[in-house]
Amino acid sequence: MPAWPEVRRTDAVMADGRSLAYYDRPGAPPRDGIDVRPPEAADPASQLRRDPLTGEWTIVAGHRQERTFQPTAQETRAQGCPLCPSTPERATEIPATDYQVVVFDNRFPALTRTAAGIETPDERPGIGRCQVVCFTDDHDARLADLDADRVLLIVQAWADSVARLREDPRLVSCLVFENRGADIGVTLTHPHGQVYAYPFLPPREGRLLDAAARHHADTGRILALDVADAEERDAVRLLAATDHWTAHVPRAARWPFEVRITPRRAIASLDGLHADEAAEFAVLYPRLLRALDDAYGVPMPYVAAWHQAPLAGGAPGAQLFLEVFSTRRAPDRLKYLAGSESAAGVWINDIAPERAAAMLREALA
Ligand SMILES: [Zn+2]
């Protein structure tokens, strides 16, 4: 089996106590910069509240109102981007003059490791972890433009982050995701993603795991792999099929553009990927992202999120796959979640998945 390319991780602590990890290929400069900023009052309180009518948890994090919200072009020029490298004149979140990939605790976290407060069946402290993953120090890049080795380094940083989150038994489920585009509510345009570790199972992950467990009990098989196989045979919504991955538009896609990228092998979590699988993903994924932007010739706002087994494992049939979806339904129009979607949870998709797949295949060609 091919070996993973070497990665050097350097752990650091920011002035206010937050953790930061650099991921570099050998030969990068030492990462020994000091965060010189005055520490701000950190550790804001957030709270989990469960609605007894639905049984679902809400994270109440009032402090996030103060976070950097869509700085204008002038403000960004004046204050600078907090995810760019530091310069002698300006200290940012990353105390280095360049970097490859970094993972650090979010300055405005919805969930923290040290949240405290009252605990009742319907109320708990907002224990968890919210991390930022910077994909490159190039402010103007998009993940779609990064070379395969950088995307592979990002996969290695994701996998390592997931493995480290397993060490905290209070964390139940972890979502590795990227929000891209102002139209989807992104506050910073610097190419970055996030990792959220929740102290409960998010409802959608719960539904995915229930369906996977039922199928596994009935057939001994992995539902997400069976569906990906059927989509590959059917080919109508298929976008790509490589040695280790397939990509298709789901038959019942909820969003105007929606893509599932599934490894061919049964893999529960990101840290279960093999080197050859990750290396192939690092070529395929940027291609698919470029096709999304090319479909209408305007940047697609998107959410990309990995679904995986809970951190403690023990989920029969659970399968790792990446879901990418966009709210864009025309070059100049976005889909908004209105009554049926928001109130009833029933999606209405204005673009037939077969048509979206045809558009994306054309953009891939
Ligand atoms: Zn930047």
Q: Residues 13-70: pLDDT tens digits?
A: 999 999 999 999 999 999 999 999 988 765 567 899 999 999 999 999 876 555 554 5
For 8-201, the fitting CATH number among 3.40.50.720, 3.30.428.10, 3.40.190.290, 2.40.50.100 is 3.30.428.10
Residue 9 exposure: Cα atoms within 13 Å on the Cβ side: 15
Any bridge partners for residue 102, and if so which?
22, 134
Identify the DSSP state of 17: S
The rounded Å distance from CA 140 to ligand 1 centre is 7
Positions annotated as catalytic residues are 192
The rounded Å distance from CA 277 to ligand 1 centre is 30
The rounded Å distance from CA 109 to ligand 1 centre is 19
pLDDT at residue number 183: 82
Q: Which residues contact 269 (CB under 8 A, 6 or more apart)?
A: 162, 308, 309, 313, 320
CATH class of 204-364: alpha beta
The rounded Å distance from CA 9 to ligand 1 centre is 22
Q: Which residues contact 283 (CB under 8 A, 6 or more apart)?
A: 148, 151
Q: Both tokens of residue 222?
A: 């992995």
Distances in Å between the Cα of 124 and the Cα atoms of 111, 121, 312 are: 11, 8, 20
Residues of the chain with pLDDT under 50: 69
In this prediction the pTM is 0.95
Q: In what order do the strands lie in the sheet with 47-50?
A: 57-60, 47-50, 123-125
Q: Both tokens of residue 341?
A: 């979607």
Distances in Å between the Cα of 53 and the Cα atoms of 75, 134, 207 are: 43, 38, 18
The rounded Å distance from CA 41 to ligand 1 centre is 24
Q: Which residues contact 14 (CB under 8 A, 6 or more apart)?
A: 20, 35, 93, 95, 104, 105
Distances in Å between the Cα of 354 and the Cα atoms of 49, 236, 250, 262 are: 40, 6, 9, 18
The rounded Å distance from CA 292 to ligand 1 centre is 23
* Angle between helices 353-364 and 275-296 in degrees, nearest 10: 100
Alpha-carbon span 238 to 250, nearest angstrom: 9
Asked whether this chain's domains 8-201 and 204-364 adopt the same fold, the reply is: yes
The rounded Å distance from CA 187 to ligand 1 centre is 12
The rounded Å distance from CA 204 to ligand 1 centre is 32
**Strand blocks (E) in 221-320:** 238-241, 245-248, 257-263, 302-307
Judge residue 23's burial from the number of C-beta atoms within 10 Å of its C-beta, 0-12 exposed, 13-18 middle, 19 or more buried.
buried
pLDDT at residue number 80: 87
Distances in Å between the Cα of 108 and the Cα atoms of 66, 74, 129, 184, 300 are: 9, 22, 11, 18, 26
- CA 263, 266, 272, 277 dihedral sign is negative
Residue type, 3: A
- Per-domain residue ranges for the chain? 8-201, 204-364
Helix (H) or strand (E) holding 164: helix 148-165
pLDDT at residue number 64: 59
The rounded Å distance from CA 188 to ligand 1 centre is 8
Q: Which residues contact 257 (CB under 8 A, 6 or more apart)?
A: 249, 292, 295, 300, 302, 325, 326, 328, 351, 356, 360
The rounded Å distance from CA 290 to ligand 1 centre is 21
